[in-house]
Structure 1
């Protein structure tokens, strides 16, 4: 049920933002995706369907914190052979590293946009990542849950996480791009506060 003791949104500096408190990521409405290039030309998209996370929104947006866990075996790119390869030791090595995690360390905010820097751990390696974030708005679903909708994107070099598998092309270049674009579209569900 919805937390009806306080409004689900508030005005800060004239901008509507989600109320402070605990929000949970809705896995059924979370697009945690990535885009790479094949032959250095064609965009190849993938996504993870197994995502769980808690977002604590601070009274000041800068005091917010995000903690997310990703089931790496849940990767889907539209091609079974490619997905199996991504799960193998060449890439995510899901047998030995079934989960990836992200924990924020710093948030900056201006209006309905901001940046979030955090530690992304993949395959046992942790590196900082910065995402550009946008708050898209609030909705109340038919079951009276308050939802906050966010979009985020950023770029990483996959080799920073030792995801180095590749093949050289006869024409020059490599088969799979090192640069990967992260694209996230998520809905957060407001959690009740303790009485």
Structure 2
């Protein structure tokens, strides 16, 4: 169910947000799941809601998959290059009506490469302190310059966003 939050400014609460990532590995025979920590973000809910704006920063250096060696490799120059590009940003996020459902359209920047993404919003639940939301999208890693290991790892991965925003 999707509830529209009241107009106003909300802050994404990093302690109550989870950015999940899932993709294939070993020629598609295995799935790798991981999480990124959220640094912060702002949601400005407008009236009309289509004029709302979302921005967020994700800690690229904090990706964890449960295997230290893989995490180190994903931080290397071959993939995220976290030392030089520590943040993944989401900017210009705008809600878009898609029939009876909603999507969040915005620009993601990874390793200095920006690309448009559209997240399907699965749920938004309003609470007295703000709201929580769940959304997901499939991202083509090649579009962001993450082309190392083309045959070893999958080209697409799924991002799942579970966020909580509190009134500023």
TM-score, normalization: structure 2?
A: 0.91
Tell me the alpha carbon deviations over residues 137-185 of structure 1, each in whole angstroms, 9 at most, x when there is no partner.
1234xxxxx0301001011110111111106xxxxxx221001111111
Aligned mates of 1:57, 1:68 — CA distance in 2: 14
Q: Does 1:48 align with 2:48?
A: no
Tell me the alpha carbon deviations over residues 23-45 of structure 1, each in whole angstroms, 9 at most, x when there is no partner.
11110111111110112022211
**Structure 2 residue runs without a partner (length 5+):** none
What's the counterpart of residue 11 of structure 1? none
Cα distance change, pair 165–16 in 1 and its aligned pair in 2 (3 A): closer
Q: Does 1:88 align with 2:76?
A: yes
Aligned mates of 2:56, 2:3 — CA distance in 1: 25
What's the counterpart of residue 23 of structure 2? 36
Contact 1:104 1:116 in 2 (8 A): no
What's the counterpart of residue 143 of structure 2? 160
Secondary structure of residue in 1 paired with 2:133:
strand
**Structure 1 residue runs without a partner (length 5+):** 1-14, 141-145, 168-173
Which of 131, 135, 153 is 1:148 aligned to? Answer: 131
Secondary structure of residue in 2 paired with 1:90:
coil
Contact 1:30 1:51 in 2 (8 A): no
Would you identify which runs of 4 or more consecutive aligned residues in structure 1 move more than 6 Å? none
Aligned mates of 2:98, 2:146 — CA distance in 1: 34
Bigger Cα Rg: 1
Cα RMSD (Å): 1.8
Kindly state the Cα deviation for residue 50 of structure 1 after the two structures are TM-superposed.
Answer: 3.7
